[in-house]
């Protein structure tokens, strides 16, 4: 629902931002790299008919990376006064969301088909689209390592605040 609130038909006009991966901020480089790895993991699991691995790879990516981290990181861009940051974030958000829907479609076809149908633009049914292929240009181990370090720092700070009983919204000096 959050993603659908921010993407519209105009988002489709800014897809070139996804192709300029070297110029993207860390959050976008990271999510595209993680999306690419998830594509590889799901495709490998499908070849071996390991449906539990398909579901697990999708779940881990969607919940722990896309929702927990990426959506939080791009909120500042989505609500920014900088139109370029907004358009870039929306284009990558839509691209990753479309990929997620394609990856999880074999597991939850009716749900994904319904979400697909409300995305912007003219669309054929999801079941008739091509399954995602990995893109070498999305691989970025350096961005993944930088993001992993940043996530570790944020998690550590959250743990310290929790142990010290400092409310998450409380400002500290």
Q: Do residues 46 and 34 touch, judged by C-beta distance below 8 A?
A: no
Taking residues 2-20, report their average pLDDT: 73
pLDDT above 90 for 146: yes
Torsion-angle region of residue 25: left (phi > 0), alpha (psi -120 to 50) or beta?
beta
Secondary structure (H, E, C), 137-171 = HHCCHHHHHHHHHHHHHHHHHHHHHHHCCCCCCCC
Q: Do residues 119 and 98 touch, judged by C-beta distance below 8 A?
A: yes
pLDDT above 70 for 162: yes
Taking residues 53-76, report their average pLDDT: 96
Give pLDDT, residue 158: 87
In whole angstroms, give the CA distance from residue 121 to residue 89. 18
Task: Give the CB-side neighbour count of residue 114, counting CA atoms within 13 A.
Answer: 4
Taking residues 34-53, report their average pLDDT: 97
Give pLDDT, residue 99: 97
Q: Do residues 85 and 91 touch, judged by C-beta distance below 8 A?
A: no
50-57 long-range contacts, CB within 8 A, separation 24+: 51/107, 54/106, 54/107, 55/107
Taking residues 113-131, report their average pLDDT: 94
Sorting pLDDT into bands at 50, 70 and 90, what band is 2?
confident
Sorting pLDDT into bands at 50, 70 and 90, what band is 167?
confident
Give pLDDT, residue 17: 64
Nearest to 19 by CA among 136, 122, 107, 120: 136
Taking residues 138-159, report their average pLDDT: 93
User: Alpha helix locations (H) across 118-140?
Assistant: none
């Amino acid at each position: 629902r959050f993603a659908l609130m921010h993407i519209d038909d105009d988002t489709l006009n800014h897809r070139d931002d996804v192709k300029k991966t070297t110029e993207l901020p860390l959050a976008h480089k990271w999510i595209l790299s993680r999306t690419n790895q998830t594509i590889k993991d799901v495709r490998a699991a499908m070849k071996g008919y390991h449906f539990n691995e398909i579901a697990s790879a999708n779940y881990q990516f969607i919940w722990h990376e896309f929702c927990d981290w990426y959506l939080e990181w791009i909120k500042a861009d989505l609500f920014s006064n900088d139109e370029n940051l907004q358009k870039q974030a929306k284009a990558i958000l839509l691209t990753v969301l479309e990929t997620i829907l394609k990856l999880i479609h074999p597991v939850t076809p009716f749900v994904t088909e319904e979400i697909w149908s409300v995305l912007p633009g003219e669309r054929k049914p999801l079941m008739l689209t091509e399954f995602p292929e990995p893109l070498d240009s999305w691989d970025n181990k350096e961005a993944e390592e930088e993001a992993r370090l940043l996530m570790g720092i944020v998690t550590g700070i959250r743990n310290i605040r929790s142990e010290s009983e400092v409310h998450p919204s409380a400002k500290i000096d």
